[in-house]
Chains A and B, each alone.
Chain A
Amino acid sequence: MRENLARAFILTDTQFFRRAPLPKSYTDFLGRKLFLCLLTLQGLAAFALITLGVILRKSRIARSVVGPRIRQEIARAGVALLPMFLFVALALGFLVIGQTVSALARVGATGYLGSTMVIVVVRELGPLLAAMLVLARVGTAHVIELGTARALGEVEALEALGIDPVHYLIVPRVIGMAVGVFALTVYLIIVALASGYLFAFLQDVPLAPGDYFKQIADALNWLDFVLLALKTMAFGFFIAIVTCYHGLAQPLRLEDVSRVAVRAVSQGVIVCVLIDALFIGLYLLT
């Protein structure tokens, strides 16, 4: 329990490096930044592995407590965001996809419609946009909640009761966010593609709905479904890891919470972009 957290967080003791007196030079500045970056990466990796270990080892422990918390987190990172996602999906469909469809139709390139939609919406824009929205709406809440709980001593209280804070606080958030990002991405893609066609239809694009959806279905293969699921779950998992890590990483004072939240969101964006790059590599390889 405590040793779990300590193992991950000892790596985050970056205060020394932040404050270490160094001569003012660009190389020292860059060196310090690089070193801090590596330390944070190390801490995040350790925290991710510990969380995975707890998910696997404690899947049968305290289900009556952790189960409802997981459902609660899925509702928070998934169901509760559905109205906002429907709005964004409609906007995405009308503003981007609809215009793309009508532009392709104007130049007589409707044959490329399916593959363009799959690459742009299914592989890239849908998952990344969903991840960013969940990071903004739920990730920041994670940092603030956990940071406040840490500052108010609730984590120590859990430890005193023999309750593993990673199991009770982190595992539900990680699972909830992984499932939430996956589900919301699916909704976002379906609604965006449908509303995109609707926009094109309103612009009198000579394309039958059957042809439009058949092209998209033909451009999709089983690997798209597998990689979409893996990618969105990876987004959710790592957003939760980054935000929970920063919320719990160090004993915080209440006034530190907002600063840490900003740092967590920035790192969450970077992590999402890196995961996206990794999956682009995978798509190219396959």
Chain B
Amino acid sequence: MSENQNLSAIEMREVGVGAMRDTSFVVLEDVDWSVAPGEFWTIGGQQYSGKSDFLMLAAGLMAPVKGECKLFGTDTRTFGEAKLAERLRVGLVFAGGQLFNQLTLRENVALPLQYHHDLPSAAAGQEVQALLELLELTPLADVTPRHVSDNWRQRAALARALVLKPKLLLLDNPLAGLGARHLHWWLRFLDQLSQGHDWCDGQPMTVVVTTDDLRPWRNPKRKFALLRDKRFFLLGSWDEAESANDPVVRELLAAPLELSSASSSSS
């Protein structure tokens, strides 16, 4: 157990990331990154910078084009059915939710629990109901995703990722398009998860989010990185990210760019 706790949640060494739809197209190269258990990382990047593909690779859904990616010490290349338990330590929330449209929100959330524990819907009901209540989804539980707004769909996707109580939660641009009330709820709830929520028996959860707007993620406890020009840049803490004069970081912070420094850094 203690050995597991010392292992990095994510360990990438000289990783090349291929596009999910065509792995021969490399979107990121030479990524070196290590995430300790309990850390909260925010990865910034503009559209088409490879954020989603990067997260897919981090979740073990695709193998690196080159290099090595380990989740809790297990090489993701070896992720197969034999290592399902390791894989289930990772929860992934897709941009837009990607819920199953034929199922209700309740069925969407219950599906992983029923599948992996072979539970009939009645047996899974109590745990699912508790999670739905926690995420304020109870009034919408019995409707299909197409009948709810993006705000609630995204929240249902979070519930589906959390139902198996993962140790590592990856979220692809979770705040995109959310209303102000939902945005605050998300930031507060993710902080609670990171610090140890009752749902996860008080254990701090490792959280990695990607975003195209760094501003809502301002928090001294979080760590920041940037995807730009097929490269992965570690920015460090919020203060370091804020003081960086990288034009893309400035854009993600919607902050004014110091032109002289920007031109020298881009050259």
Once A65-B111, A152-B101, A156-B61 are accepted as A-B contacts, the answer to whether A161 and B94 lie under 8 Å apart by CB is: no
Q: A156 near B56 (CB under 8 angstroms)? A: yes
Q: Knowing A3-B80, A152-B101, A251-B21 touch, does A157 contact B94 (C-beta < 8 A)?
A: yes
**Interface-centre pick from A149, A152, A153, A162 (highest chain B CB count, 10 A):** A162
Q: Are A64 and B120 in contact, CB atoms less than 8 angstroms apart?
A: yes
B116 interface hit (Cβ, 8 Å): yes
Residues B21 and A64 in contact, CB atoms below 8 Å apart: no
CB interface residues, B 121-179, toward A, < 8 Å: 121, 160-161, 164
Q: Which residues on the A side are within 8 Å of B20 (C-beta)? A: 156, 251
Roughly how many angstroms separate A154 CA and B160 CA in the complex, as a whole number?
A: 13
Residue interface bits B103-122, CB-to-A below 8 A is 1, else 0: 00000000110111011110
Cβ of B88 < 8 Å from any Cβ of A? yes
Residues in B neighbouring A205, C-beta threshold 8 A: none
B114 & A62 in contact (Cβ 8 Å cutoff): yes
Within 8 A of B (CB), among A197-218: none
**Residue of B with least CB distance to A168:** B115
> 0/1 per residue, A148-171, Cβ < 8 Å to B?
010011101101111110001000
Shortest C-beta distance, A206 to chain B (Å), equals 56
Task: Give the CA-CA distance A50 to B92 in the complex, in Å.
Answer: 26
| B59 contacts partner chain A, Cβ-Cβ < 8 Å | yes
| Alpha-carbon gap, A281 to B116, bound state (A) | 45
Q: Chain B residues near A159 (CB, 8 Å)?
A: 61
Task: Please name the residue on chain A nearest to B87 by beta carbon.
Answer: A162
List B contacts of A160 (CB < 8 A).
59, 61, 92, 94, 161
Check B84 for interface membership: any CB of A closer than 8 A: yes
- Which residues of B have CB within 8 Å of A3? 80
- Whether the pair B160, A161 counts as a contact (CB closer than 8 A) is yes
Contact bitstring A1-30, B, C-beta under 8 A = 1, else 0: 111000000000000000000000000000
Contact for A161 among B56, B80, B111, B121, CB less than 8 A: B111
Interface residues of A in 47-70 (CB under 8 A from B): 61-65
Shortest CB distance A249–B (Å) = 13
**Shortest CB–CB separation between residue A17 and chain B, in angstroms?**
16
- Per DSSP, are chain A's interface residues mostly helix, strand or loop, or mixed? helix
CB distance from A71 to the nearest CB of B (A): 13
Once A and B bind, how many residue pairs between them come within 8 Å at the CB atom?
63
Question: Which chain A residue lies CB-closest to B55?
Answer: A160
For B96, give the chain A residue with the smallest CB separation: A153
A65 and B118 CA atoms in complex are apart in Å by: 7
| B98 neighbours in A (Cβ, 8 Å) | 152-154, 156-157
Please state if A65 and B114 are interface contacts (CB–CB under 8 Å): yes
Name the A residues within 8 Å of B160 (CB-CB). 161
Q: How distant is B233 from chain A, measured CB to nearest CB, in Å?
A: 26
Alpha-carbon distance A1/B118, docked complex (angstroms): 18
Q: Contact check: which of A62, A156, A163, A164 meets B118 at CB < 8 Å?
A: A62
The verdict on A162 contacting B84 (CB below 8 Å), with A64-B114, A64-B118, A154-B98 known, is yes
Q: Does B190 make an interface contact (CB < 8 A)?
A: no
B116 adjacent to A62 (CB under 8 Å): yes
Q: Contact at A161–B112, with CB atoms within 8 Å?
A: yes
Contact with B along A105-136 (1 / 0, CB 8 A): 00000000000000000000000000000000
Contact of B112 (CB < 8 Å), options: A61, A156, A162, A251: A162
In the bound assembly, the distance between CA atoms of A168 and B111 in angstroms comes to 11
- A162 and B88: CB pair below 8 A? yes
A63 touches B81 (CB 8 A): no
Beyond A152-B101, A157-B99, A162-B84, whether A2 also contacts B114 by CB under 8 A is no
The list of the 9 closest CB pairs from A to B, nearest first, reads: A160-B92, A157-B98, A153-B98, A161-B112, A62-B115, A64-B120, A251-B21, A65-B115, A162-B88
Q: Apart from A3-B80, A161-B164, A162-B88, what 17 extra A-B contacts exist at CB < 8 Å?
A: A2-B61, A2-B62, A62-B115, A63-B118, A149-B100, A152-B98, A153-B96, A154-B98, A156-B56, A156-B61, A157-B99, A161-B160, A162-B115, A162-B116, A163-B112, A164-B81, A251-B21
**Chain B interface residues (CB < 8 Å from chain A):** 20-21, 56, 59, 61-62, 80-81, 84, 87-88, 92, 94, 96, 98-101, 111-112, 114-116, 118-121, 160-161, 164
